[in-house]
Amino acid sequence: MNPFSSGTRLRDMIRAIRACKTAAEERAVVRKESAAIRAAVGENDNDYRHRNLAKLMFIHMLGYPTHFGQMECLKLIASSGFPEKRIGYLGLMLLLDERQEVLMLVTNSLKQDLNHSNQYIVGLALCALGNICSAEMARDLAPEVERLLQFRDPNVRKKAALCSIRIIKKVPDLAENFVNPAAALLKEKHHGVLLTGLQLCTDLCKISEEALEYFRKKCTESVVKALKDVVNSPYAPEYDISGITDPFLHIRLLRFLRILGHGDADASDCMNDILAQVATKTESNKNAGNAILYECVETIMSIEDNSGLRVLAINILGRFLSNRDNNIRYVALNMLMRAITVDAQAVQRHRATILECVKDSDASIRKRALELLYLLVNESNVKSLTKELIEHLEVSEQEFKGDLTAKICSIVEKFSTEKIWYIDQMLKVLSEAGNFVKDDVWHALIVVISNASNLHGYTVRSLYKAVQTSGEQESLVRVAVWCIGEYGEMLVNSTGMLDIEEPITVTESDAVDVIEIALKHHTSDLTTQAMCLIALLKLSSRFPACSQRIKEIVVQNKGSLVLELQQRSIEFNYIIEKHQNIRSSLVERMPVLDEATYSGKRAGSLPATIPTSNGAAINLPNGVAKPTAAPLVDLLDLSSDDAPAPSSSGSDFLHDLLGVDLSPASSQSGNIQAQKSGTDVLLDLLSIGTPPAQSSSFSSDILSISQDNKTSSGNLLSSPSPQISSSAGGSPIMDLLDGFAPNPASSEVNGPAYPSVVAFESGSLKIEFNFSKPPGNPQTTTIQATFTNKSPNTFTDFIFQAAVPKFLQLHLDPASSNTLPESANGSITQDMRVTNSQHGKKSLDKSTISLVGCDTECSMMSGVAAVGTLSHWSNGISRMLHFAAFFLQFEGAVLVIMIIMGCNRSSGKQLARNEVETSNAK
Amino acid sequence: MGIRFILMVNKQGQTRLAQYYEYLTLEERRALEGEIVRKCLARNEQQCSFVEHRNYKIVYRRYASLFFLVGVDNEENELAILEFIHLLVETMDRHFGNVCELDIMFHLEKAHFMLEEMVMNGCIIETSKANILAPIQLMDKAS
């Protein structure tokens, strides 16, 4: 019985599937068939195995799972009949892949079939091996394949050649065994064998330098001769394609010559004549001829210099580029891209044509042309090309704008010599396609603007004008909002007019209008709105006359559902309302951003500096809130009014504002800290008890931890990002805890071998860790945590949790109580036993040891990573959540503990909600 | 390895034959096919036959209601792949006699056998139609 023609049921199944009107119907049919096949597999049904497999292949093609048929393939392959084997192998190639362990089972069958007396069966096995073999199979079966390269039948030799490619790619060590047999294949007359032999040689050259040398020496002439033969061969009907004998073979030969000639003058010399002949004699009115010319040009470009040939090649390219067939134009662009390294001058000549191609209606051609043009830009043509590209941006299709914008921005950044030109071009791009601009591009623009002090007035006025007409372009709006906030008075007073400018009259309320519109625009996202609030705060000081109006706008966000906006609105409102005296110093203009640092950061930590939209939102408020932190202490009347001026944190604030990842800022903390006078709560706490020089390694730990926290506790706190608040609300916890109590941990480090550590202490809460080790068991450490509540309110529902890295074991005893009485009337203690399974094996980080000043293996230290407050709405009551994150250095691991406690302010009733988020670094 | 996959897709975007020369999971395949088909079928006659998608270059050609799409890597000669598609179609024509979508559907395994004789592990093995079809005809005769 023939398995292929008698499969009426296969036909029925295909018909049934074709008759399906909906995807659901199709799924039902497939499900039914799959079930039937599975049943047949279970019954070990011999007669229908091949038919079932054929069905499975069809089902597989439709995209349904077919793994249950894999074993069937193996059974079919092991059977003796050719048709069964044939479909078995086909199934093997379609349904299996080299990653599946089942494949190992087939090695034996393959070996038998490679030695089979029937050459067709040998061919089948080679084909399967060539398509799916794994490294192990390659090792096992390489000798067979090597032998088959000399098989009497050419159809087997050609398959063995391709199979060898797979083998040497999987196991490059085996390459040397194949060099000699491969060289022998190059002398063959059979097209298939020659074609595959060339491919094998090409791949051998890629893997082994010696092979390349060998072929160069022994085979260059024979390959040249083979090309001559095929070029000059008489009409051969079997291989003829539109008057050319076997263009595929032409192409393979040219490609191999390219490899031989590349970097070798003698070999290049040897092939000059035949390349010239191909380049001049090949018919270029048919696709097949053009395919050969295309390959020939590439070979000429790759081999060692021969000016005559190069001229020929460039001429062919010119002809291609002006061809009316889009396919030919496409490959011409592709070709020019490779030719540019060889002969940039020749490519530059076609610049105008290429520019036309950028404007083509065909997306593929546009994309190629744009990439090529990007490579063509240099100092001398950058201005004209940028102008053209920006003009085209206005009319280009939406889906092309993204690519085009990215390229223009990149060109402008790379080649800008004058700031004013850079700013002008960027503003044009932002006005045209601001929504396609990546965040780091407009961040860079702000850095440049900040540095161009003589252009501040010009820029802010240009932005004001631009935003009137292109208010829907988000990133333009952001830059404009930032600049108006910073340089608003220059806009109104027309300070620093340049000659080229047309004077405009802008009133203070016009400037505020722009921000208000941006704030309320429906497309504005959180970042933009947050920037608007900052700008308004700044303007309230710059434009005292508008102060009242600004306050009203700010207050409108008091009820915003977005926590970030709500908080800003409330805080800024306080500043405007009650703190006239410090406001002007609070909202001073930003210090100039360091361009070198910023560009270094962009280049150095690329993944980190391409912030996701979320990332930008996180970092921005983070930085922004810091300077305001100190006055807030004041505002909430919970601390004395000696808040220091925040200006010292200006520089990292700016980096953060610009969406630069937090890491650079905090890794700098070591240096910055020296100048800081305890203003910045976060940084201050970070560096407690640590010498400045070492704090960088320290804070990078924290950083990776807080990254984790960001994701893990976000939902828990119903806040978009807890990290924002961790630093944003730096002081409210301080107010709760009454002031900037420095952490006393530093005083403890020189104590006994296992010093007890005050992890956190403030006016309201003290957390202390005591360490002890049971004698004779150095692996285990007991940590006793003692919590004392010094505030006048009772904390209830106290929960403390901790987590450890995998090599540690943690046993957490129950806490002595879950209520923490007020006014230090008692405390809760809780024991943790930590067992280090790799005690003595896991090497400790030396820097952390010296950091603590202990030399024992269980050096420990602690500190407060961050403290903060979150406020959120729940049942209409504003609830403040205070939290603190600690870290504990333990035998080379860092444990991080985050405690969150809630209290309901409005009712005065205590709501303590303690959540502990832990995570570990290292 | 030049050729990374070969697809035959009808006008409605249904896959009629799929052969991959590199490993992709079922989900990746479905997604890739969907994206490619959407991209290629939307193009008109005048536009060029090459589409760049992810890190593939897709060379496609339409014959009546059937699209032949070949995914290649960047090194490949696009014009030669166009010629290869034509050779594939001519080979099928010679076997089926004016091949159509239904021939491929109902003789999927034969279409695969032909492809197997033409391409292996992403490389072209044979360009002579007679040589490609010989084993298939032999098998037909034997049954």
Q: Kindly indicate the confidence band of residue A660, based on its pLDDT and cuts at 50, 70 and 90.
A: very low
CB contacts under 8 A, A 238-257 vs B, are 238-239, 241, 246-249, 251
Asked if B116 lies within 8 A of A90 by C-beta distance, the reply is yes
Q: To the nearest whole percent, how much of chain A has pLDDT over 70?
A: 70
| Cα distance between residue A231 and residue A225, in whole Å | 10
Q: Would the pLDDT of A638 be above 80?
A: no
Q: Is the pLDDT of residue A871 over 70?
A: no
Tell me what pLDDT residue A753 has. Answer: 53
ipTM of the complex: 0.95
pLDDT value at A255 more than 90 = yes
For residue A810, what are the β-bridge partners?
Answer: A834
Question: A321 or A704: which carries more pLDDT confidence?
Answer: A321
Do B26 and A90 count as a contact with CB atoms less than 8 A apart?
Answer: no
A61, A131, A328: residue with CB nearest B17? A61
Residue tagged 């006699």 (tokens): B97
Q: Which residue of B has its CA nearest to A154?
A: B131
3-state secondary structure of A400: helix
Q: Which residue has the higher pLDDT, A114 or A846?
A: A114
- Flag whether pLDDT at A67 surpasses 70: yes
| pLDDT (average), residues A751-777 | 68
For position A704, which CATH number holds?
A: 2.60.40.1230
Q: Indicate yes or no: CB of A83 within 8 angstroms of CB of B143.
A: yes
User: Helix, strand or coil for residue A342?
Assistant: coil
**Chain A interface, best mutation among B35, B48, B128, by max A CB count within 10 A:** B48
How many angstroms separate the CA atoms of A352 and A355, rounded?
5
Q: At residue A754, does pLDDT exceed 80?
A: no
Q: Which residues of A touch B61 (CB under 8 A)?
A: none
Weakest-pLDDT range from A5-14, A351-360, A500-509 = A5-14
Mean pLDDT of chain A, nearest integer: 74
- Residue A712: domain span: 666-922
Q: What percent of chain A has pLDDT over 90?
A: 18
Q: Tell me whether residue A801 is in a domain.
A: yes
Q: Is A118 on the interface with B (CB under 8 A)?
A: no
pLDDT computed for residue A734 by the predictor: 35
Inter-chain contact B80–A93, Cβ cutoff 8 Å? no
| Coil/strand/helix, residue A370 | helix
Partner-chain contact B46 A330, CB within 8 Å: no
* Structural domain includes residue A921: yes
User: Considering only CB atoms, which chain A residues are within 8 Å of B55?
Assistant: none
For the residues A525-554, what does the mean pLDDT come to?
88
Short-list A832, A837, A784, CA closest to A812: A832
Q: How many CB pairs under 8 A join A and B?
A: 157
* Strands of A757-761's sheet in order across: A757-761, A765-772, A780-789, A827-836, A808-812
Average pLDDT (A749-769) is 63
Evaluate if residue A442 carries a pLDDT over 80. yes
Q: Do B121 and A246 touch (CB under 8 A)?
A: no
Q: How confident is the model at residue A1 (pLDDT cuts 50, 70, 90)?
A: very low
Which residues of A fall within a CB distance of 8 Å from B107? Answer: 4
CB contact under 8 A, B30 and A63: yes
Q: How open is the CA angle A912-A916-A917, to the nearest 5 degrees?
A: 145
Asked if pLDDT for residue A196 goes beyond 50, the answer is yes
Residue that wins the pLDDT comparison between B84 and A402 = B84
pLDDT band at B58; cut points 50, 70, 90: very high
Answer yes or no: is pLDDT of A293 > 60.
yes
User: Between chains, do B135 and A287 touch, taking CB under 8 Å as contact?
Assistant: no
- What number is the average pLDDT over the span A345-350? 86
* pLDDT class of A694 with cuts at 50, 70, 90: very low
pLDDT above 90: residue A649? no
Confidence band of A852 (pLDDT split at 50, 70, 90):
very low
Say which DSSP state A152 is in: S
Nearest-10 crossing angle of helices A526-542, A508-520: 160
pLDDT value for A142: 92
Check CB contact under 8 Å for A130 and B121.
Answer: yes
CATH of domain B3-142: 3.30.450.60
Q: Report CB contact under 8 Å: A290, B127.
A: no
What confidence score (pLDDT) does residue A803 get?
66
More confident residue, A355 or A627: A355
B108 interaction partners in chain A (CB closer than 8 Å): 54, 57-58, 61
pLDDT of res. A200: 94
In the structure, what pLDDT confidence band is assigned to residue A784 with cuts at 50, 70 and 90?
confident
Q: Which of A787, A767, A784, A790 is nearest to A886 (CA)?
A: A767
pLDDT value of position A833: 77
Give the nearest partner residue to B26 out of A63, A155, A196, using CB atoms.
A63
Main-chain dihedrals φ then ψ at residue A842, nearest 5 degrees: -75, 115
Q: Which pLDDT score, from 0 to 100, does residue A639 have? A: 34
Confidence band (pLDDT; 50, 70, 90) for A351? confident
Q: What's the average model confidence in pLDDT over A200-227?
A: 92
- A4–B contact, CB cutoff 8 A: yes
Indicate yes or no: CB of A287 within 8 angstroms of CB of B83: yes
The token pair that represents A644 in the structure block:
């220091």
Domain boundary assignment for chain B: 3-142
Whether the pLDDT of residue A252 is over 90: the answer is yes
Q: Could you tell me if residue A48 is inside a domain?
A: no
Which of A192, A196, A294 has the CB atom closest to B77's CB atom? A294
- Of A4, A191, A291, nearest to B128 by CB-CB distance is A191
Chain A contact probe: residue of B73, B79, B82, B119 with most A CBs at under 10 A? B79
> Of A61, A362, A367, which is closest to B18 when you measure between CB atoms?
A61
Ranking A411-415, A437-441, A644-648 by mean pLDDT, the lowest is: A644-648
For position A693, what pLDDT does the model report? 38
Q: What pLDDT does residue A682 have?
A: 38
**Domain membership flag for residue A796:** yes
Taking the CA of residue A648 and the nearest CA in chain B, the distance in Å comes to 47
- pLDDT level of residue B82 (50, 70, 90 thresholds): very high
Counting the structural domains of chain A, the total is: 1
The residue ranges of DSSP E strands in B42-92, in sequence order, are: 50-53, 56-63, 66-72
Minimal CA separation from B64 to chain A, in Å: 19
Q: Can you tell me the mean pLDDT for A686-704? A: 38
Number of H helices, E strands in chain A: 43, 11
The per-residue pLDDT for range B108-136, each reduced to its tens digit, is 989 999 999 999 999 999 999 999 999 88
- Whether residue A67 lies within 8 A of chain B, CB to CB, comes out as no
| CA A163 to each of CA A167, A251, B1, B19: distance values in angstroms, whole numbers, following the listed order | 6, 21, 12, 18
Distances (CA, A) of A18 to A270, A312, A381, A442: 58, 54, 58, 53
| Mutate which: A131, A193, A196, A278, vs B, most B CBs within 10 A | A131
Q: Which residues of A touch B124 (CB under 8 A)?
A: 195, 248
Partners of residue A246 in chain B, C-beta under 8 Å = 127
Among partner residues A61, A131, A364, which is closest to B21 by beta-carbon distance? A131
How much is the pLDDT for A488? 86
User: For residue range A667-692, what is the model confidence (pLDDT) as tens digits?
Assistant: 343 343 334 333 343 333 333 333 33
Q: Please give, rounded to a whole number of angstroms, the shortest distance from the CA of B134 to a CA of chain A.
A: 10
A99:B23 CB<8 A: yes
Rounded mean pLDDT, A739-760:
48
If one compares A293 and A70, the residue with the highest pLDDT of the two is A293
- pLDDT range class, residue A710, cuts 50, 70, 90: very low
Query: Residue A887 has what pLDDT?
Result: 52
A236 near B CB under 8 A: no
| pLDDT confidence bin for A880, thresholds 50/70/90 | very low
- In chain B, the residue whose alpha carbon lies closest to the alpha carbon of A126 is B120
How far, in Å, are A265, A801, A832, A840 from residue A811 at the CA level? 73, 10, 6, 20
- Taking alpha carbons only, the member of A585, A720, A726 closest to residue A650 is A585
Per-residue pLDDT tens digits for A567-611: 899 988 888 888 877 888 888 888 888 777 777 766 654 443 333
State yes or no: pLDDT of A657 exceeds 50.
no
Does residue A566 fall inside a structural domain?
no
- Closest residue in B to A98 (Cα) is B23
A841 falls in which pLDDT band (50, 70, 90)? low
